[in-house]
Structure 1
């Protein structure tokens, strides 16, 4: 029977597919760390108290990249080049989601609207990350090889999501509510398409590595298309709602270290 657990068990048990999975994850997390670091450095003076939280977000993402690379090293594996079509962060930028890298490479301060755009982009993508990590924690939280990594990253993603809710609500109360909802909706509708395309590209590559039959490959592709159809019909709304989180000031301190993955 095909299930999320059996699918990821198969991927994790094969060195080459595990290598691809961790390489893609590490690349995305490291890219997110760089983006957050640049945003923290360019936050406008009116929002300087937010800079430390954005920097903490970036430090967490960098840590996640190191964790995935450490999982590779434990098996004696090196990262692989990210295949075309599997780079989630690059494809989001190409579709105009978030802040352009050209803007982040410049030394001009960001505007408050730029910060709102960043937070809205993070609200959507952190929902995706949190959903995926909760699924992995459910099935692999006690796994001797990846369990500790999954639990640590899952907790961090919950913190990131809580922080996005809290900060966006702060901006909404300051009069930016309509702009926030518009930006969230635009971002979510693009993200679900990018997620589908990346999912298809990753599964196509995994299928080649693991020798999946055409029938199994078509079944997995159909599942990805089905999820996209559900999200397109209204499932995307879970990615744009805002409510005050139970975890308040979730990024108010230093990033937790991960010495066991060093």
Structure 2
């Protein structure tokens, strides 16, 4: 029987699949770090109080990228090129989700709508990240090679998700509720489609590296498509609800360091 645990163990045990996994993860985290850094620099005057939290968000993402790079170095591996079809962040941007990189490269202040778009996009994508890391923490939190990294990143992702909930609720109270809900729905529906496509692409690459039989690849692809069907029908709703998190002011302090991964 194919399980998440056995699948990830197979990926971790093979240098080539592990290298691809870490390279994809490191690239995505680095992009997130850059985006948050630019957003922090371009916040409008009315929302400048968010700058320390957005900066911390970006610092966490940069740290995660360094962690995945360090995991590769420990095996004597170097990063590999990330296949375009597995680039989750880029594919979301192509669908018009989040803030375009062209906008972030300009030295023009963002609008309040831009910040709402950023937070709504982050709320959806951080939901996915928190769920994935919770799964990895459950199965690999005690793994001698990746366990510490998994636990650290999982805690950060929970903080990021809590931060998005809290800030969006504050903006909703300020009168932006309908706009927030509209953008959340748009982001959620786009994200579940991109996540399906990226998952299929990643599994295709892993299957070729690990020489999976066609039957195994077909079962995995069917499972991914079935999950998409569920998310398209009802699962997307978990990505658009807002509730006050137990972790308040989750990004209110300085970013935690990870010297052991530098």
**Number of the residue aligned with 2:143:** 143
**Number of the residue aligned with 1:234:** 234
**Number of the residue aligned with 2:126:** 126
**Number of the residue aligned with 1:187:** 187
4+ residue runs over 3 A deviation: none
Q: Secondary structure at the match of 1:249?
A: coil
**Number of the residue aligned with 1:158:** 158
**Number of the residue aligned with 2:171:** 171
**Number of the residue aligned with 1:97:** 97
**Number of the residue aligned with 1:247:** 247
Post-superposition offset of 1:54:
0.3
Residue segments in structure 2 that go unaligned for 5+ positions in a row: none
**Pairwise CA RMSD:** 0.3
Post-superposition offset of 1:28:
0.1
User: What is the count of residue pairs matched by the alignment?
Assistant: 262
Q: Distance in 2 between matches of 1:64 and 1:244?
A: 26
Q: Distance in 2 between matches of 1:236 and 1:218?
A: 25
**Number of the residue aligned with 2:25:** 25
Q: Distance in 1 between matches of 2:98 and 2:171?
A: 17
Q: Distance in 1 between matches of 2:52 and 2:255?
A: 11
Post-superposition offset of 1:35:
0.2
Q: Distance in 2 between matches of 1:61 and 1:179?
A: 27
Q: Distance in 1 between matches of 2:162 and 2:186?
A: 21
Q: Distance in 2 between matches of 1:31 and 1:101?
A: 10
Q: Distance in 2 between matches of 1:95 and 1:191?
A: 9
Q: Distance in 1 between matches of 2:239 and 2:151?
A: 22
**Number of the residue aligned with 2:44:** 44
Q: Distance in 2 between matches of 1:67 and 1:144?
A: 15
Q: Distance in 2 between matches of 1:237 and 1:34?
A: 29
Q: Secondary structure at the match of 2:197?
A: helix
Q: Distance in 2 between matches of 1:74 and 1:36?
A: 28
**Number of the residue aligned with 2:109:** 109
Listed one character per residue, the Cα deviations across residues 86-131 of structure 1 (whole Å, up to 9, x for unaligned) are 0000000000000000100000000000000000000000000000
Post-superposition offset of 1:84:
2.3
Q: Distance in 2 between matches of 1:14 and 1:162?
A: 35
Q: Distance in 2 between matches of 1:166 and 1:56?
A: 15
Residue segments in structure 1 that go unaligned for 5+ positions in a row: none
Listed one character per residue, the Cα deviations across residues 46-67 of structure 1 (whole Å, up to 9, x for unaligned) are 0001011000000000000000
Listed one character per residue, the Cα deviations across residues 220-258 of structure 1 (whole Å, up to 9, x for unaligned) are 000000100000001000011000001000000110000
Query: Which residues in structure 2 correspond to 1:49-64 (within 5 Å)?
Result: 49-64=49-64
Q: Secondary structure at the match of 1:85?
A: helix
